[in-house]
């Protein structure tokens, strides 16, 4: 574990992935949101699913496994497919069976022209239901697609805004990633307790995230220096202040889970 | 608990439906609500009417209205649904009848009490004109007759009879009867 100092004098901890994963598991509390930004192929989906695994390995206060649901929208998604191969079932109805805490919801589109509409018919009511139930973790791979209006997106901007702004009080954690930070609500960058930034390709995108996550100068200085699969994590600490970490996401060994009966 | 969510087919979204469809649905629901409101109001009116008739002793008509209420309400409601002008007339009629029936009994009671109060006041005025107070328990020797006409003479006392006793035209007692045994 090492450390560097930015021009503003802030200290940044550079940690290997295992250490960071432990640190995240220890410091993240249920109800705290996570936002990830990065261009295509930067590793944001990989990071998101690794975080989902970390959160899924935790236990609730009642000693039951934490409930984590991954919402997938792409026609094919190898990262999500790996989760399914590990034993995360693709649900056909909600609520899931008793004991089935780690799930994938993957509404398949019949045709491209009706894809958004069909997926909205599934994911809109599901997000409403999960919001009412509370106490879970929801992972969304492309937040901008959820927020953009029909037919380019699912038109669930109001629901997403509600999740960012008030789901914390319901112990509802939202883990969302996007490659278009200017197409999502400001709350996605101002509300989360953890903001992960991969090396950006667009200066304006980086500026928006940097301005809203609370460490503008440090993010603007560090993010362009990141390498492949490396990320900068800005952690909002309880009692004020923000911690800065740099790490590199690595794929964990798949753990075959016995499917729930 | 709410129904299960179908994650394969999804659920209808209100925002997706065409506007005309939504408007039609809303109009239909509104018409149904209005129809139900008219039926309820008519049922109440007939029930109150039957109660009122029973109170006046017309049990036959009251019973008949009670038995036929459902049919009458159904008929009027059906007519209101099919003929818009009839619906207007029925609603207008209800608007007049309802307050009348609602306040009818109260008004009747108030009117009766007002009449009684007026009669009582007239009587007191008459007594004042007679110059005496009303005495509910007249004392002997002080009897008066408040309801007799003022110009009617008071009944006179019987004159004292000093002519003796007469039976079948024969005086048997009195100053003119000889009483040899007293001599």
CB A165 within 8 A of CB A187: yes
| Euclidean distance between CA atoms A125 and A27, whole angstroms | 31
Q: In what order do the strands lie in the sheet with A194-198?
A: A2-5, A11-14, A242-248, A230-236, A194-198, A34-37, A173-178, A137-140, A68-71, A102-105
E strand or H helix that includes residue A233: strand A230-236
Distance (Å) from the alpha carbon of B89 to chain A's nearest alpha carbon: 46
* CB pair distance less than 8 Å for A122 and B10: yes
Tens digit of pLDDT per residue, chain A (261 long)? 577 776 677 788 899 999 999 999 999 999 999 999 999 888 889 999 999 999 999 887 778 888 999 999 988 888 899 999 989 999 998 889 888 899 999 998 778 888 898 899 999 999 999 999 888 999 998 999 999 998 889 999 999 999 998 888 888 999 999 988 888 988 898 889 999 999 888 888 888 888 888 888 888 888 888 888 899 999 987 777 788 899 998 877 665 555 554
Burial class of A123 by CB neighbour count within 10 A (0 to 12, 13 to 18, 19+): buried
Neighbours of A32 (CB within 10 A): 19
Mutate to test the interface with A, among B10, B11, B15 (most CBs of A within 10 A): B10
Written as six digits, the tokens of A87 are 């034993």
Class of residue A31 by CB neighbours under 10 A (exposed 0-12, middle 13-18, buried 19+): middle
pLDDT grade, residue B144 (50/70/90)? low
Six-digit token string for A48 = 């998101």
Q: What pLDDT, on the 0 to 100 scale, is given for residue A98?
A: 85
Mutation choice for A interface testing from B1, B2, B4, B7 by most A CBs within 10 A = B7
Residues ≥6 apart with Cβ < 8 Å to A2: A13, A14
User: Closest-CA residue in chain A for B16?
Assistant: A117
DSSP letter string, A15-49: --HHHHHHHHHHH--TT--EEEE--TTSSHHHHHH
Pick from A94, A105, A124: CB nearest B4: A94
pTM: 0.61
Strand A11-14 to strand A2-5: parallel, antiparallel, or no bridges (unpaired)? antiparallel
Q: Is the pLDDT of residue B48 over 80?
A: yes
Render A154-168 in DSSP notation, one character per residue.
Answer: ---HHHHHHHHHHGG
pLDDT at A130: 93
pLDDT for the residue numbered A173: 94
CB proximity A92 to B under 8 Å: yes
Name the residue facing A107 among B7, B13, B15 (closest C-beta): B7
For residue B20, the model assigns a pLDDT of: 65
Return the H-helix or E-strand segment holding B77: helix B59-82
Please, which residues 102-141 of chain A have a Cβ atom closer than 8 Å to chain B? 105, 107, 117-122, 124-126, 129
């Amino acid at each position: 574990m090492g450390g560097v100092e930015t021009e503003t004098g802030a200290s940044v901890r550079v940690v290997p992935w295992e250490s960071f994963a432990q640190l995240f598991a220890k410091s993240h509390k249920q109800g705290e949101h996570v936002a990830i930004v990065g261009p295509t192929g930067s590793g944001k989906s990989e990071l998101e699913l690794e975080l989902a695994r970390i959160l899924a390995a935790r236990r609730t206060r009642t000693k039951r496994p934490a409930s984590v649901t991954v919402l997938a929208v792409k026609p094919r998604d190898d990262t999500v497919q790996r989760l399914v191969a590990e034993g995360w079932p693709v649900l056909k109805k909600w609520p899931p069976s008793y004991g089935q805490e780690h799930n994938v919801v993957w509404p398949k589109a019949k045709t491209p022209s009706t894809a958004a509409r069909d997926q909205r018919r599934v994911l809109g009511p599901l997000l409403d239901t999960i919001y009412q139930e509370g106490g879970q973790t929801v992972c969304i791979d492309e937040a901008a697609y959820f927020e953009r209006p029909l037919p380019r997106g699912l038109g669930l901007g109001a629901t997403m805004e509600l999740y960012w702004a008030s789901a914390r009080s319901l112990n509802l954690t939202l883990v969302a990633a996007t490659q278009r930070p200017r197409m999502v609500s400001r709350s996605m960058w101002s509300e989360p307790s953890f903001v992960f930034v991969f090396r950006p390709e667009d200066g304006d995108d980086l500026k928006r995230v940097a301005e809203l996550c609370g460490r503008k100068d440090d993010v603007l200085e560090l993010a362009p220096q990141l390498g492949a699969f490396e990320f900068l994590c800005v952690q909002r600490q309880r009692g004020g202040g923000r911690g800065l970490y740099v790490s590199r996401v690595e794929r964990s060994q798949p753990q075959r889970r016995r499917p729930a009966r | 608990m709410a129904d299960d969510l179908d994650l394969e087919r999804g659920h209808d979204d209100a925002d997706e439906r065409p506007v005309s469809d939504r408007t039609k649905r809303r109009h239909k629901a509104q018409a149904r609500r209005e129809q139900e409101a008219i039926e309820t109001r008519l049922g109440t009116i007939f029930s109150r009417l039957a109660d009122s008739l029973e109170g006046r002793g017309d049990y036959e008509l009251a019973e008949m209205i009670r038995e036929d209420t459902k049919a009458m309400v159904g008929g009027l409601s059906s007519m209101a649904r099919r003929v818009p002008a009839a619906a207007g007339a029925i609603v207008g009629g209800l608007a007049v009848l309802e307050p009348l029936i609602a306040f009818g009994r109260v008004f009747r009671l108030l009117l009766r009490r007002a009449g009684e109060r007026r009669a009582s006041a007239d009587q007191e005025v008459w007594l004042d004109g007679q110059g005496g107070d009303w005495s509910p328990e007249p004392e002997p020797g002080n009897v008066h007759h408040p309801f007799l006409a003022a110009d009617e003479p008071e009944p006179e006392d019987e004159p004292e009879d000093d002519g003796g006793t007469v039976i079948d035209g024969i005086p048997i007692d009195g100053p003119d009867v000889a009483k040899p045994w007293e001599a």
